[in-house]
Amino acid sequence: MIVQTHRFGPLDVPDNKIIAMERPILGFERLRYFCLVELPEIAPLLWLQSTEDSTVAFMVLNPVILFPDYRIAINSMEIAELEVCDLAAVEAYVVVTFSDHPRDISANLQGPILINTENRRAKQLVLVNSRYHVKHPLLEVAEEPAAFQEATELVTA
């Protein structure tokens, strides 16, 4: 499938890499299909690109990379909606928000996006009664803040 993107131009994305949102990203309820775009120069960051709207792409990060103790409680109904057979097949990503100042870059740890890597079904959760925040600072927890800041500067350039 050719995915038209504002940021990257046309991308050839295999059909088996298209992610179907079973529960949409808050504020973007009309968009159901996405793909992950990996660029080595901004790793560990990725883009979650809409396949339906070329202008919509979210910067995402696997939260465990910067927050090794990140854990979320998921009830069986949440897992059932994604048709999960093996919990190891579920990956979590959080949306990264940029600012004019790199020190203000944050991640929404309260609204993770879960992706079942076996069937590419996904959903955004909203964690209630959680110790996590919507704007959790990233640079202060990065093991290599200079490298992380360099990657984020490439994104915002």
* pLDDT (tens digit per residue) in 83-141: 998 888 999 999 999 877 777 889 999 999 999 999 999 999 998 888 889 998 887 66
* pLDDT (tens digit per residue) in 49-64: 999 999 999 999 999 9
Q: Which long-range contacts (CB under 8 A, 24 or more apart) does 14-17 make?
A: 16/120, 17/120
Task: List C-alpha distances in Å: 67 to 33, 42, 77, 109, 143.
Answer: 27, 18, 26, 10, 10
Output the pTM of the full model: 0.86
What 3-state class would DSSP assign to 58?
Answer: strand
Domains and CATH numbers, the chain: 2-150 (2.30.290.10)
